[in-house]
Structure 1
Amino acid sequence: MTREKTVAFHTLGCKLNFSETSTIGRLMEKEGFVKKDFDGPADVYVINTCSVTDNADKECRQLVRRIQRRSPESLVVITGCYAQLKPKEIAEIPGVDLVLGAAEKFNIAGHLRELTKGDSARISSCDIEDVHTFHSSWSVNDRTRTFLKVQDGCDYNCSFCTIPMARGISRSDSVANVVANARELAANGVKEIVLTGVNLGDFGKGFEGGKKREESFYELIQALEAVEGIERYRISSIEPNLLTDEIIRFVAASKKFMPHFHIPLQSGSNDILALMRRRYRRELYAEKVALIRETMPHCAIGVDVIVGFPSESDAHFRDTFNFLHSLDVTYFHVFTYSERDNTHALEIQPVVPVHVRHERNKALRQLSFKKQQYFAEQHTGQTRKVLFEGANKDGMMEGYTDNYIRVVTPFRAEWENSIVDWELR
């Protein structure tokens, strides 16, 4: 009797990658593979990479070395953004057997049938201009919360970003298919869906039957509101210029879309925003935050910001710090700028010293901590609905309020994957 083949996965980067890894895992299970833990033995190891920062590249190399030490006879497959951008560089890493670009990541099982350990690393990449298809994906770690990919690629050309080169043009699922996927997830007991994409607000572009399809993100959220069984939706991240007033007002009135937005800012200086080739200025960002606060005073608002972008002076950084200090937002994700090959930002001078980038990162993270504390304190004594996750972590369990305040409490099995009225203390 032939032993079942085993496969283990590791994901670097964003929630979009996690949803895709989960989908690839389900496809491989249909092909007869048995999923194993990445830290244990497996016949095949799949690393789904990111390339937003240098750390993701380095971590990929470290993971391959770890596999080589533990299981030198196993096959190693690298896919994801790093694989699309630098396939030859990855193929030269000792121990890598297969490098799959953006168009091939969902066909891993087919490639593995033709692969033998010991051969030279095989590259199955493609010109990113040839990537036009959309693959539905969702993550399933437990039933509580699922990240559902509804859009991929990006037509923007921000000067610091490699994502259009790694993922191709903006393209989307159809409203009808997303709704069908949501119904399937509801049937499997999922309570909350987080909508994800590279440029989520650009949802609606695609092809069907050879014809161009034009829908909108607003149409999508209207359709999802009517899906029975899903109790919560979150919008993972949406560009401020695509976050329309009608979307904000819809979420404010919705029974299912949570009062929680994550809106990339990147810089509070209009000079830097222009150099970044962002499609808005800080005044528009402030208008969006003001409308959210007017319609949803209790709403959580997350912000992405980059520090140390080329030519960012102390005055530019003060603009960003003071702007964020003045905004009624909840928390920041702070990224230290790192140079990316083939981006326009490499031509911008002067370069900000690395130690200055890190100092600015620390200053914004401290401000973010204070903002988050203040937001939680504003809700002390309120009763809000908390969706508790199923994981028992050392006798404790956690969940999030509708407006994304984390709650930790002793584990109770009857609260798993349940929404509980909770008084915040």
Structure 2
Amino acid sequence: MKKLVIKTLGCKVNQCESESICNALLESGQGFTCDESGEAEVVIINTCTVTSKAAMQSRQAVRQAIRANPGARIVVTGCHAQMAPEELAAIEGVDLVVGNRDKHQISNEILSGLGKNRDRIAPVKCPDVAGPAQFEMLPGIAHGGRTRPFIKIQDGCNAFCTYCIVPHARGRSRSLPMEQVLDQVVSLAKLGNREVVLTGIHIGCYGQDLNPETSLYELLCQIRQAGAIDRVRVSSIEPAELSDAIIDLAVTDKKMPGRLCRHFHIPLQSGDDGILNRMHRPYGRDDFSILVKKIIDRVPDAAIGVDTLIGFPGETDAAFDQTYDLIASLPVAYLHVFPFSARNGTPAYSYENQVPVQTIKERCQRMRKLGAQKRRSFYERHVGRTVTVLVEETREKKDGRLKGLTDNYIPVLFDGPDELTNTFQQVEIQGVSADGVPEGRAL
């Protein structure tokens, strides 16, 4: 058997793409196995470049893979490969560098017998991502052994926020045709999956490039109409693109197939209108506040997750307080807190009034503490309630209990036999542990 290892950095889209490549190789009939023990024969590093730190970690991951697997064929792909292909190709031990547009060819490159290139610079397959393009369909279904597998329905971004390098690494927005999305949903359902997660770089733009044009809302309606899968979860969606119609799809009979989970992850980034304007974000703090309150009014127990970007150039103490106070006032369930990192190639890299690193760290600590309070408060509101959880395939590492996830993104630990995995179970939430984990008992 040929041992294969894929190291993935960054976002859910990268995870989805890695799983697709992995499954294509495992199902190729060429004797591949995914085994972390011992030295691998093939290592793929799917890199990230969203921040300078992520790019550095990607380079570190490449070198670590080379040291740990001296006889392996090393393939580097992903967003950092797209942005710095020659730098990665020059690392001794790298055999191939593949940009985002050619990721779908990686499995074929490996199956065709990728040779060793230790005596020369590795070949680079990294076409420019600028300009229009069709969705690049990766081989293999991205189930990855997950209870809730990803389906990548969209790639690229047209927004060009001033802090973000992703449009340069991923290209323009493009969508997987609806019939192919539906085919993947059906295929995953036939494999026994009960929930799928729709993911993309700018998922709210889904369908705008297709002919005829369609939308994320229409896709969700078609998935519901097909009735193949029990639950559908949507990854991060921009505030201006979360329509009333999409929100209303989460207001439904719990037994309806294809139901949209009561879970919305919405990037805020800043609660200060001046900073939002400098970021080129197309909304204001009042717009965001109205949206969150609207969701809770229509879907009272919805989990609302929020991204914040702390320390953007020009963020004064007062501007940070605007963000902190807005989050504190809203019924959000959890936060993702990111420190601003000046990324070469973006307008914000050269903006004046850069915030000191220590100030950013202190503000992030305050925001993360608020996020922990919000998360615990959201969990505690559900103590004493009976909830429906989808039981995960893997147990809690510390004590072996089963793990289940509600449609509104509450993880619950409880005792039970292996036979309950990948089934929906009724669980009474009895409390929240000292470290913030909901605990319950199966009914």
Q: What is the TM-score when the length of structure 2 is the normalising length?
A: 0.90
Measure the CA separation in 2 of the matches of 1:223 and 1:40: 45
Aligned match of 2:207: 204
Aligned match of 2:356: 353
Aligned-partner residue type, residue 235 of structure 1:
V
**RMSD value, Cα:** 1.7
Check if 1:98 corresponds to 2:101.
no
Aligned-partner residue type, residue 301 of structure 2:
H
Measure the CA separation in 1 of the matches of 2:267 and 2:151: 20
**Structure 1 residues 110 and 390: alpha-carbon distance in aligned structure 2, compared to 1, 3 A threshold:** closer
Structure 2 stretches lacking a partner, 5+ long = 431-443
Aligned match of 1:378: 381
Deviations 1:275-326 (A, max 9, x none): 0001111111111111111111111000000001111111100000001101
| Aligned partner of residue 139 in structure 1, secondary structure | coil
Aligned match of 1:424: 429
Check if 1:127 corresponds to 2:154.
no
Measure the CA separation in 1 of the matches of 2:13 and 2:330: 28
**Structure 1 residues 86 and 411: alpha-carbon distance in aligned structure 2, compared to 1, 3 A threshold:** farther
Aligned match of 2:324: 321
Check if 1:21 corresponds to 2:11.
no
Aligned-partner residue type, residue 20 of structure 1:
E
Q: Out of 23, 32, 35, which is 1:34 matched to?
A: 32
Structure 1 stretches lacking a partner, 5+ long = none
Aligned-partner residue type, residue 244 of structure 1:
S
Measure the CA separation in 2 of the matches of 1:33 and 1:90: 28
Aligned match of 1:304: 307
Aligned match of 1:290: 293
Aligned-partner residue type, residue 26 of structure 2:
E
Aligned-partner residue type, residue 122 of structure 2:
A
Q: CA deviation at 1:406?
A: 1.0
> What aligned pairs does 1:194-273 form with structure 2 within 5 A after superposition?
194-207=197-210, 212-253=211-252, 255=256, 256-273=259-276
Q: Would you say the 8 A contact 2:94–2:117 is kept in 1?
A: no
Q: Would you say the 8 A contact 1:103–1:131 is kept in 2?
A: no
Aligned match of 1:191: 194
Aligned match of 2:440: none
Q: Would you say the 8 A contact 2:396–2:413 is kept in 1?
A: no
Question: What percentage of residue pairs aligned between the two structures are identical?
Answer: 39
| Aligned partner of residue 325 in structure 2, secondary structure | helix
Q: CA deviation at 1:93?
A: 2.4
**Structure 1 residues 61 and 347: alpha-carbon distance in aligned structure 2, compared to 1, 3 A threshold:** closer
Aligned-partner residue type, residue 385 of structure 1:
T
Measure the CA separation in 2 of the matches of 1:7 and 1:133: 29
**Structure 1 residues 378 and 114: alpha-carbon distance in aligned structure 2, compared to 1, 3 A threshold:** closer
> What aligned pairs does 1:37-76 form with structure 2 within 5 A after superposition?
37-38=35-36, 40-76=38-74
Q: CA deviation at 1:51?
A: 1.0
Check if 1:279 corresponds to 2:282.
yes
Deviations 1:350-404 (A, max 9, x none): 1101111111111000000001111111111111101110113442221111211
Aligned-partner residue type, residue 117 of structure 1:
N
| Aligned partner of residue 261 in structure 1, secondary structure | strand
| Aligned partner of residue 177 in structure 1, secondary structure | helix
Aligned-partner residue type, residue 134 of structure 2:
T
Measure the CA separation in 1 of the matches of 2:407 and 2:79: 32
Aligned match of 1:10: 7
Measure the CA separation in 2 of the matches of 1:393 and 1:300: 22
Measure the CA separation in 2 of the matches of 1:323 and 1:352: 21
| Aligned partner of residue 164 in structure 2, secondary structure | coil
**Structure 1 residues 364 and 77: alpha-carbon distance in aligned structure 2, compared to 1, 3 A threshold:** same
Q: Would you say the 8 A contact 1:84–1:125 is kept in 2?
A: yes
Q: CA deviation at 1:218?
A: 0.8
Q: Would you say the 8 A contact 2:150–2:197 is kept in 1?
A: yes
Measure the CA separation in 2 of the matches of 1:109 and 1:328: 45
| Aligned partner of residue 342 in structure 2, secondary structure | coil
Q: CA deviation at 1:412?
A: 1.7
Q: CA deviation at 1:114?
A: 4.8
Check if 1:149 corresponds to 2:148.
no
Measure the CA separation in 1 of the matches of 2:243 and 2:295: 11
Question: Which stretch shifts more, 96-105 or 57-66?
Answer: 57-66
Q: CA deviation at 1:270?
A: 0.5
Measure the CA separation in 1 of the matches of 2:190 and 2:66: 41
Aligned-partner residue type, residue 409 of structure 1:
F
Aligned match of 2:165: 162
Measure the CA separation in 2 of the matches of 1:410 and 1:59: 38
Aligned match of 1:174: 177
Measure the CA separation in 2 of the matches of 1:83 and 1:35: 25
| Aligned partner of residue 74 in structure 2, secondary structure | strand
How many residues get paired?
A: 418
Q: CA deviation at 1:87?
A: 0.8
Q: CA deviation at 1:411?
A: 4.6
Q: Would you say the 8 A contact 1:152–1:171 is kept in 2?
A: yes
| Aligned partner of residue 10 in structure 1, secondary structure | strand
**Structure 1 residues 130 and 100: alpha-carbon distance in aligned structure 2, compared to 1, 3 A threshold:** farther
Aligned match of 1:332: 335
Q: Would you say the 8 A contact 2:98–2:125 is kept in 1?
A: yes
Aligned-partner residue type, residue 248 of structure 1:
I
**Structure 1 residues 180 and 242: alpha-carbon distance in aligned structure 2, compared to 1, 3 A threshold:** same
Check if 1:116 corresponds to 2:148.
no
Q: CA deviation at 1:139?
A: 2.9
Q: Would you say the 8 A contact 2:104–2:137 is kept in 1?
A: no
Measure the CA separation in 2 of the matches of 1:33 and 1:106: 20
Question: Which stretch shifts more, 254-263 or 215-224?
Answer: 254-263
**Structure 1 residues 68 and 144: alpha-carbon distance in aligned structure 2, compared to 1, 3 A threshold:** closer
